[in-house]
Structure 1
Amino acid sequence: MTTNIITTPPWPTTPTHPITAALRRISPPLKTPNPFRVQTSTQPNSSNLSLSNPNNINISSNNNNPQDQTLILLLRQRKTEEAWLAYSNSTKLPNPTCLSRLISQLSYQNTPSSFARAQSIITRLRDEQQLHRLDANSLGLLAVSAAKSGQTLYATSIIKSMLKSGYLPHVKAWSAVVSRLASSGDDGPAEAVRLFQSVVKRVRRFSDPNVVVDSKPDTAAFNAVLNACANLGLSKRFLELFDEMQEFKCEPDVLSYNIMIKLCARVNRKDLLVFVLERILDKGIPLCMTTLHSLVAAYVGFGDLEIAEELVQAMREGRLDICRVLRECSDTEFVRKTENHVFAKLLPNSVSSNDHDPPMLKKVYRPDSRIYTTLMKGYMKQGRVLDTMRMLEAMRQQEDSGSHPDHVTYTTVISAFVKVGAMDRARQVLAEMSRIGVPANRITYNILLKGYCEQLQIEEAKELIRVMADGDAGLEPDVVSYNTLIDGCILIDDGAGALTYFNEMRARGIAPSKVSYTTLMKAFALSGQPKLANKVFDEMLNDPRVKVDLVAWNMLVEGYCRLGLLEEAKRIVERMKENGVHPNVATYGSLANCIALARKPGEALLLWNEVKERCGMGDGENSKASDVPRLEPDEGLLDTLADICVRAAFFKKALEIVACMEEYGIPPNKTKYTRIYVEMHSRMFTSKHASRARQDRRKERKKAAEAFKFWLGLPNSYYGSEWRLEAADGDD
């Protein structure tokens, strides 16, 4: 295999550099005494209109250029395609009116091609240092389009750049980005909280509320950031934001409390779920099916299917006293035993629950297919395939068509069969979906693909891909499909096949995800080709759509450590630190295994010193450095380090390591360490012909050895015995 492993098709039109640096050069459209500026229109409520209809943007222009007049006429007639062609054929930049309006209408179309065109205009303006020609409306609409297209990082950079340049984006624009960040992985929720804080900080700097009326947060914006806090389990910050809503005259709605249900589930407060429902009813907020679905999903997430079943059954019976049913099933006494000021303020009714009867529902809510399917997912997770099938049959018998099984229901049944390895039964369900006219989607096929790959049935997985694309479904495989196939090739040790699918994915124009890169790196790391893994890593670094995380760094380190290439692995770790990425337990574990493989026990002492500092056990000031996260060592790392130290007769360090193991509740393997000591060190300190300096060093080592033997329970100098492992050597 050659080193030129990855074929590189042209990337979609994406700025080579972040938009942030370029937008900092935007010059102010008007000079005002305020440190920040807000672009407003002379028409009332025009900002709201601009976000729903780009033709309502009110921009005046005195430019008499014929090309500009033609372009603005096309844009006013909503002939966006012809306007784009006119712009592309022109060698000169249009005036600010045309540019802003063209970007607005391209962003409003919200298609991949229109978004790419809008990005190309940004790229051109950035290269010619003309980004100041754009107004706040066009940039805000571009941010919304980027968020909807999944380009969350690009959308975030636009909003941040607008803030740094003095623009205040419309609330619909920046809240859309916050919402996308809150639901994304990695550090997206944390970034959502920071972005919300940045906007609110600038809004508060204006004493006149009318100036920022279109930028201040509304209930939807607060719900977006509350969702981020719930995903992070930040209950205190959730309370602060919940109270902050009053400052901006925003009232919590039913979605706010649905998010609170998620928070209770995230912080392991199952006892509070019923009180969220009661709070909604007490405040007179109209209840929706999503609230009841959230409750069922929360109980299923806790693994408490009995309460979930009681809730669904109460809905089936048309009962209005669902709060009473949940109280009787839940351990509400836990609320009073563990008082929490955060939830006492969020849910004051939970503190005084004994003072009033549970409220009643205003009307009957029957379970729909979504609620039944959620309960089925609980059965599936517990491997209760029979109950899953019974639920499917029960849904088929329902009189209400809204309770009949849909594609999500059948996909859940397929997942249940895949979980137990019954691939034939899963395929039969897929055939049944086709027969009764319930269309399967990519998720359905991807679950089947994963099942075949886990069962090492790669040929069946390949055949399913063909059926998926060429059959009745007519679904092209996506990045998840290819990631599954790549991982399947790794399971059968087929690195070449993994690379083939990776290149095929890119040839189809499917952008690789973070999982795609790390999975391919895993293939090369496991096959002993760290240089190829490094090449994939470099491709990942150069891909602006992917954020390199700790998993990718660790996979690269692991590739070198598997071959005992310690110096190369250490260079990667230093590169990690230079990029602001702190090694974790997996990183140190790979290094420890590499040290053992390379037989360099001296390196183990250096590694242990670093681990000790990260665990807060160091003696210096660096042991409590605030910028480095605290490390929680695991059994694999500490056992490997102790093993190396015992074999190298570093007994003092070995005792430090086993003390750390005991501190973290990890039982040391005394049997193994005793065997190593007896086999390797039982004849230590027998030579009497050595220099005085060497004898002094030996004396210190012997003290450590005696202490280690004492810990092992072997005969030692602390407790005399007629049986000795080593002869006296004159150092006593």
Structure 2
Amino acid sequence: MNAVLLQSPLSPFQRAATTNAEPRDQKLLSLLRDRKTEEAWHAYAHSTHLPNPTCLSRLVCQLSYQNTLSSLTRAQSIVTRLRNERQLHRLDANCLGLLAVAATKAGHTLYAASVLRSMIRSGYLPHVKAWTAVVARLSSAPDDGPVEALKLFRSVTRRLRKLPDKDMAAASRPDTTAINAVLNACANLGDAKAFLQVFDEMPQFDVSPDALSYNTMMKLCCKIGRKDLLLFVLERVLQLGIPFCVTSLQSLVSAYVEFGDLETAEKLVQAMREQRRDICRVLRECSNLEYLSGNESDYDNSNNDEDEDCVFEKLLPNLVDQSGHEAEPPLLPKGYAPNTRTYTTLMKGYMNAGRVSDTVRMLEAMRRQDDKGSHPDHVSYTTVVSALVKVGSMDRAREVLAEMTRIGVPANLITYNILLKGYCKQLQINKAKELLKEMVDDAGIQPDVVSYNILIDGCILVDDSAGALSFFNEMRARGIAPTKISYTTLMKAFAYSGQPKLAHKVFNEMDNDPRVKVDLIAWNMLVEGYCRLGLVEEAKKVVQKMKENGVHPDSSTYGSLANGIALARKPGEALLLWNEVKERCEMRKEGEKSDSSVPPLKPDGGLLDTLADICVRAAFFRKALEIVACMEENGIAPNKTKFTRIYVEMHSRMFTSKHASRARQDRRIERKRAAEAFKFWLGLPNSYYDGSEWRLEPMEGYGTTSDSV
């Protein structure tokens, strides 16, 4: 946020309040005008009097403008006090906007979004730079971040459209940067329809797409798996005469790398090295699109959504304009040489493909480049480190780190985090601790929350829950706020070490932390902790509370419950669980009507196998047949060998007792039919073949009498 917002003129109300302010307000205002923010804060904090709107707004502005954690906390405390006293209207839009930006920079994006929503509900419209900063951060945030970004954008634009004169809030109207931030949210969601909707709204705000808008469109193509559209995006940019820059070509290289098409990425980079302007021709040849003949391409788009195709026909009119295909492909305005970023992107492709030698060779080639703009930087070296760590070559990775120090290319936090993760994966926790100390003492780099999350997870791998807790506490002692991953990883440590109550305590702390949102992973880890000890009732209580909070169990939740039921030897619970799983699975059937609030469940092989195992062991053959039928319907191959072994070991003498009462024998008839049907499915001799009874002596140590059935 720039200083213009801070220097906005006072409203008539504020000028009157300043003129009639009490002496203590005048003193506070004088301190604020002299930029003595620290003294002004202490004057406010030690006064029982609530200052006038001008003083409060200026104080929040200046605290927010300092961009420190302590100043942000102070600004938030003022807002909290005013909200509790129902005096939030004393703050102007300018200071609230600055507060939102400061919170965004500090990583408190959810708080920033809540500030902006409060402004809009109160009739304020935030400055475009304020809401753009929040939307941009939300668009790349995990979980519901992109969805919240779209919601915030819609709230602002709805408010703008209600104004009788569009110039009334000119400072809040979206510009190209704002629109691109929203388009990025759509791309991250893979929502082509929302992308088109935002794209179509640009003329309403006198905004035109730029190269970044189309680069984001390339990102959308990657998200939804439409590699065939990348070339059309580039040609559209050239057709429109949009000022071209090398970032578009870099985005193309990145897109082909993401698709794993390294051959096309290599040819594109080579064409850039040759300063060729006919990049579109090169890409046409690579994609083997027969434009002149009008034949279908080699890409099979028969499974693409028709609505999706319509969306891209509107976004890219050149998709349906065959006249453009008959002409020569458009040329770039000039040749664009690849730079460090371009080469490093290709290196990442080699790394992802496991081509370590090619990654290292690319680094050597970059070193020999005459153009310094193509020399390797810390990202290039870090990519090589990552490639070596990925294949377990920790010693070579450390050699690259040493070389970076020797040639003056400083490693950064990401480099060290990659190395930390490598040591933890190899269960070398002591070396990870040594590296952490080296990072702080020698390199002067402080660990972040990612560093500690890696170390906590490393402790789990060596079954050291105490070490995990120690790192978690050390992280908080350094003033580093835990993330959702921090909490769930620590819960995992306690769950896996048989300490579900401690996992529950961590869960409760996470639930009370306003900076994070309890998600399905956290609930599942809590369920897992109880189920690992066979505490099925406690786990069921967690699942019930989970549902009450609007979070629906998934296959992982049910899988944990199934394993817990097997451990607790409570087959009756398995029947209840299967009924719920079956109901959720049937929602996936075409034309099946269900409660829209409960999503359908995708059948999971592990879950169904565990349930079938329990049912076979408990002689619930009818239910076992239902489960294996569900498995086969969904392309999951049941383990017949295992089920045959269980049947032979446990049930080969079923129904052979001659001493049971007539009533009990009658009750067995239905179960016997189910057992014969299950034997038929297994391929064992049964009454469906010849009506004869089948006998098999049980293996020593196994077998159940009819009385125990």
Q: TM-score, normalised by structure 1?
A: 0.89
1:86-111 deviations in Å (ceiling 9; x for gaps): 32343312110111122122222322
* 1:369 is the counterpart of 2:321: no
1:665 — aligned with what? 635
Q: 2:508 aligns with which of 538, 541, 549?
A: 538
Q: Aligned in 2, Cα 1:335/1:485: closer, same or farther, shift over 3 Å?
A: closer
Secondary structure class of the residue paired with 1:214: helix
Moved more, 49-58 or 171-180: 49-58
Q: Which residues of 2 match residues 236-247 of structure 1 at below 5 A?
A: 236-247=193-204
Q: 2:434 aligns with which of 454, 463, 488?
A: 463
Secondary structure class of the residue paired with 2:169: coil
Moved more, 628-637 or 287-296: 287-296
Secondary structure class of the residue paired with 2:171: coil
Whole-angstrom distance in 1 between the partners of 2:654 and 2:575 = 21
1:426 — aligned with what? 397
1:109-142 deviations in Å (ceiling 9; x for gaps): 3222321221121122233332221112211221
Q: 1:613 aligns with which of 574, 583, 597?
A: 583
* 1:633 is the counterpart of 2:590: no
Whole-angstrom distance in 2 between the partners of 1:707 and 1:200 = 63
1:322-377 deviations in Å (ceiling 9; x for gaps): 11111111144157954711111111212335233211000111111011111111
Whole-angstrom distance in 1 between the partners of 2:329 and 2:335 = 16
Whole-angstrom distance in 2 between the partners of 1:336 and 1:683 = 56
Whole-angstrom distance in 1 between the partners of 2:72 and 2:568 = 52
Letter matched to residue 476 of structure 1: Q
Secondary structure class of the residue paired with 1:272: helix
Whole-angstrom distance in 1 between the partners of 2:230 and 2:301 = 16
Whole-angstrom distance in 1 between the partners of 2:415 and 2:77 = 36
Whole-angstrom distance in 2 between the partners of 1:139 and 1:120 = 13
* 1:110 is the counterpart of 2:81: no
Q: Aligned in 2, Cα 1:556/1:337: closer, same or farther, shift over 3 Å?
A: closer
1:478-532 deviations in Å (ceiling 9; x for gaps): 1111111111122111221111111111111111111111111111111111111
Letter matched to residue 319 of structure 2: S
* 1:439 is the counterpart of 2:439: no
* 1:719 is the counterpart of 2:671: no
Q: 1:389 aligns with which of 355, 360, 367?
A: 360
* 1:131 is the counterpart of 2:88: yes
Paired residues of 2:394 and 2:423 also in contact (CA < 8 A): yes
Whole-angstrom distance in 2 between the partners of 1:314 and 1:109 = 47
Paired residues of 1:299 and 1:307 also in contact (CA < 8 A): yes
1:346 — aligned with what? 315
Moved more, 492-501 or 717-726: 717-726
2:384 — aligned with what? 413
Letter matched to residue 373 of structure 1: T
Q: Which residues of 2 match residues 158-169 of structure 1 at below 5 A?
A: 158-169=115-126
Identity %: 71
Report the aligned-residue RMSD.
Answer: 2.2
1:603 — aligned with what? 573
Whole-angstrom distance in 2 between the partners of 1:436 and 1:461 = 24
Q: Which residues of 2 match residues 65-104 of structure 1 at below 5 A?
A: 65-104=22-61
Q: Aligned in 2, Cα 1:622/1:300: closer, same or farther, shift over 3 Å?
A: closer
* 1:683 is the counterpart of 2:656: no
* 1:699 is the counterpart of 2:669: yes
Moved more, 458-467 or 600-609: 458-467
1:202-245 deviations in Å (ceiling 9; x for gaps): 32223332333333333222212211111111112211221122
2:472 — aligned with what? 502
Q: Which residues of 2 match residues 218-617 of structure 1 at below 5 A?
A: 218-332=175-289, 333-334=297-298, 338=302, 340-351=309-320, 352=322, 354-471=325-442, 473-616=443-586
Whole-angstrom distance in 2 between the partners of 1:709 and 1:216 = 71
Q: Aligned in 2, Cα 1:260/1:617: closer, same or farther, shift over 3 Å?
A: closer
Secondary structure class of the residue paired with 1:154: helix
Whole-angstrom distance in 2 between the partners of 1:110 and 1:183 = 21
Structure 1 residue 313 displacement after superposition: 0.5
Whole-angstrom distance in 2 between the partners of 1:659 and 1:250 = 56
Moved more, 203-212 or 647-656: 203-212
Whole-angstrom distance in 1 between the partners of 2:682 and 2:108 = 58
Structure 1 residue 78 displacement after superposition: 3.4
Structure 1 residue 647 displacement after superposition: 1.2
Structure 1 residue 718 displacement after superposition: 2.5
1:56 — aligned with what? 8
Letter matched to residue 449 of structure 1: L
Say which structure, 1 or 2, has more relative contact order (CA 8 Å, 6+ apart): 1
Q: Aligned in 2, Cα 1:336/1:598: closer, same or farther, shift over 3 Å?
A: closer
Paired residues of 2:588 and 2:602 also in contact (CA < 8 A): no
* 1:649 is the counterpart of 2:606: no
1:14 — aligned with what? none
Whole-angstrom distance in 2 between the partners of 1:184 and 1:599 = 43
Moved more, 275-284 or 118-127: 118-127
Letter matched to residue 238 of structure 1: F
Structure 1 residue 564 displacement after superposition: 0.6
Q: Aligned in 2, Cα 1:708/1:123: closer, same or farther, shift over 3 Å?
A: same
Moved more, 664-673 or 77-86: 77-86
Moved more, 54-63 or 294-303: 54-63
Whole-angstrom distance in 2 between the partners of 1:154 and 1:582 = 26
Paired residues of 1:321 and 1:359 also in contact (CA < 8 A): yes
Secondary structure class of the residue paired with 2:113: helix
Q: 1:214 aligns with which of 161, 171, 186?
A: 171
Paired residues of 1:528 and 1:563 also in contact (CA < 8 A): yes
Secondary structure class of the residue paired with 2:622: helix
Unpaired segments ≥5 residues, structure 2: 290-296, 698-705
Whole-angstrom distance in 2 between the partners of 1:322 and 1:245 = 29
Letter matched to residue 676 of structure 2: E
Aligned length: 678
Structure 1 residue 682 displacement after superposition: 2.3
Structure 1 residue 277 displacement after superposition: 0.8
* 1:142 is the counterpart of 2:111: no
Structure 1 residue 462 displacement after superposition: 1.1
Structure 1 residue 318 displacement after superposition: 0.4
Secondary structure class of the residue paired with 1:246: helix
Q: Aligned in 2, Cα 1:264/1:596: closer, same or farther, shift over 3 Å?
A: same
Whole-angstrom distance in 1 between the partners of 2:664 and 2:159 = 69
Unpaired segments ≥5 residues, structure 1: 1-48
1:58-82 deviations in Å (ceiling 9; x for gaps): 2423323222223323333434334
Secondary structure class of the residue paired with 1:271: helix
Letter matched to residue 70 of structure 2: S
Secondary structure class of the residue paired with 1:56: coil
Paired residues of 2:587 and 2:600 also in contact (CA < 8 A): no
Whole-angstrom distance in 1 between the partners of 2:605 and 2:189 = 27
Paired residues of 2:588 and 2:601 also in contact (CA < 8 A): no
Letter matched to residue 155 of structure 1: A
Letter matched to residue 6 of structure 2: P
1:188 — aligned with what? 145
Structure 1 residue 437 displacement after superposition: 1.0
Whole-angstrom distance in 2 between the partners of 1:318 and 1:185 = 39
